[in-house]
């Protein structure tokens, strides 16, 4: 029978290969600095849009990792409302969505506050407002009092993936975890986020929702590492993309005798990918912002603004006058007049002039 990490004496005295981890951690820190620098170049509205998009992705993807699909527009509406952003035209929000958003915003907006049993209980209650997970009644707002097995497979052919710490030891283990989490440490906060995620998952203190709470704890510590409450990259979004590997490495390292190098390396590489994705997205946001800044004094009609924004957002395929007409809901003659006007202003140009099917692209700016 496989031995779990928590069955070793002093199991939380984690170890890792410093030569591997320090290099990855330094690279992540460098990328965090670059992303923060790019964000500072955006105006207030641009920063607000970026934060709203990131938090929405974080909430939706963290739930999706657990197989729960939340309505994207409802999540966006809930976050926008709580951040004081105009929510006109956005849908009403159900209580389940509000609960997940409440937890995530508390973790990030109040990242400087201590993590406590009561705060975790509040998060858990917010996740399960009716004390049910699907059709199953669960213990809410307190640590589990029953055994916890993570299994898969048909009845009689179940495969046990993980057997969590005995419920009698959960409070004691959580006391130890929270003392470490809230205490001062020489460990880099990014590394501390990775360790906290793994440690919490191993304890698995709640009946349900452990994964989502672990990722909220991760975001809390990453927010501390960034030194600001604004979120510009989504760790949960990246974990969702790498979900199979996420579970695979957790399953493997849960059987180690204390060396968690493989988990830390995976976590840092995942975070690195999230930051690289964000850096590319910010380049596009800055490019769009720069375009409108250059053309602040240029006169455009509503149709032209609509299609130009689509082009700046990464329009797929060739832009032809017929496609312009469909996008702008106008006649082909009106579309052609709009295009010619922008060509005269040096904003659009023909793509490969002389071809059989004339397309248009943005001129360099």
Q: Which residue do the tokens 């312009």 mark?
A: 324
Instruction: Report the C-alpha gap between 289 and 39 in whole angstroms.
Output: 12
Residue 351: which pLDDT band, with cuts at 50, 70 and 90? confident
* pLDDT at 150 (0 to 100): 74
Give the mean pLDDT of 349-358: 73
Three-state DSSP state, 361? strand
The CATH label, of 3.30.420.40, 3.50.50.60, 1.10.3290.10, 3.40.50.10280, for the domain at 5-288 is 1.10.3290.10
> How large is the C-alpha radius of gyration of the chain?
25
Q: Is the pTM of this model over 0.95?
A: no
* pLDDT at 236 (0 to 100): 93
Residue 114: which pLDDT band, with cuts at 50, 70 and 90? very high
Kindly report, residue by residue over 247-288, the tens digit of the pLDDT.
Answer: 999 999 999 999 999 999 999 999 999 999 988 877 777 788
* pLDDT at 156 (0 to 100): 66
* pLDDT at 338 (0 to 100): 96
Q: How many helices (H) and strands (E) does the chain have?
A: 14, 6
* pLDDT at 89 (0 to 100): 64
State CA 321 to chain mean position distance: 38
* pLDDT at 132 (0 to 100): 75
Give the mean pLDDT of 51-65: 91
State CA 185 to chain mean position distance: 26
Question: Following DSSP, what letter does each residue of 92-123 receive, concatenated?
Answer: P--HHHHHHHHHHHHHHHTTTSPP-HHHHHHH
CA distances from 215 to 66, 192, 211 (A): 11, 13, 6
* pLDDT at 6 (0 to 100): 95
* pLDDT at 155 (0 to 100): 67
pLDDT-above-70 percentage for the chain: 95
pLDDT-above-90 percentage for the chain: 65
Give the mean pLDDT of 20-47: 88
Domain ranges of the chain: 5-288, 298-362
Tell me: pLDDT of 87 over 80: no
Kindly report, residue by residue over 168-200, the tens digit of the pLDDT.
Answer: 999 999 999 999 999 998 999 999 999 999 999
Is 1.10.10.10 the CATH classification of the domain at 298-362? yes
Q: Which residue do the tokens 């797929």 mark?
A: 316
* pLDDT at 152 (0 to 100): 66
Closest to 218 in 3D by CA, of 47, 164, 210, 169:
210
Instruction: Report the C-alpha gap between 252 and 269 in whole angstroms.
Output: 17
* pLDDT at 346 (0 to 100): 95
Instruction: Report the C-alpha gap between 128 and 151 in whole angstroms.
Output: 22
What's the DSSP call for residue 91?
P
Tell me: pLDDT of 310 over 90: no
Instruction: Report the C-alpha gap between 105 and 103 in whole angstroms.
Output: 6
Structure tokens that stand for 100 in this block: 């997940």
Mean of pLDDT over the chain: 90
């Amino acid at each position: 029978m496989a031995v779990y990490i928590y069955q070793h004496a002093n199991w939380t005295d984690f170890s890792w290969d410093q030569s591997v981890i320090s290099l990855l951690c330094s690279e992540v820190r460098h990328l965090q600095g670059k992303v923060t620098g790019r964000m500072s170049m955006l105006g207030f509205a641009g920063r607000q849009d970026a934060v709203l998009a990131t938090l929405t992705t974080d909430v939706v993807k963290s739930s999706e990792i657990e197989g729960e699909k939340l309505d994207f527009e409802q999540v966006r509406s809930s976050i926008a409302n709580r951040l004081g952003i105009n929510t006109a035209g956005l849908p009403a929000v159900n209580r389940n969505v509000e609960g997940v958003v409440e937890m995530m915003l508390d973790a990030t907006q109040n990242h400087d506050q201590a993590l406590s049993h009561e705060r975790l209980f509040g998060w858990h209650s917010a996740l399960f407002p009716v004390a049910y997970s699907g059709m199953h009644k669960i213990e809410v707002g307190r640590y589990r009092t029953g055994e916890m097995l993570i299994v898969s497979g048909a009845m009689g052919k179940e495969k046990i993936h993980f057997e969590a710490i005995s419920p009698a030891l959960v409070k004691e283990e959580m006391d130890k975890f929270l003392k470490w989490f809230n205490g001062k440490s020489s460990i880099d906060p990014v590394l501390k986020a990775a360790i906290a995620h793994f440690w919490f998952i191993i304890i698995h203190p709640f009946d349900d929702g452990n994964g989502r709470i672990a990722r909220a704890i991760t975001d809390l510590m990453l927010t501390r590492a960034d030194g600001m409450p604004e979120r510009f990259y989504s760790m949960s979004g990246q974990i969702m993309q790498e979900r199979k590997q996420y579970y695979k490495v957790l399953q493997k390292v849960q059987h180690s005798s204390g060396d968690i190098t493989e988990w830390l390396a995976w976590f840092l590489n995942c975070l690195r990918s999230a930051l690289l994705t964000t850096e590319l997205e910010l380049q596009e946001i800055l490019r769009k912002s720069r375009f409108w800044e250059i053309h602040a004094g240029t006169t455009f009609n509503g149709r032209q603004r609509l299609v130009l924004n689509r082009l700046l957002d990464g329009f797929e395929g060739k832009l032809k006058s017929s496609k312009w007409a469909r996008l702008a809901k106008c006649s082909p003659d009106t579309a052609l007049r709009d295009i010619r006007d922008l060509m005269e202003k040096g904003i659009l140009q023909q793509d490969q002039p002389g071809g059989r099917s004339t397309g248009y692209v943005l001129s360099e700016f």
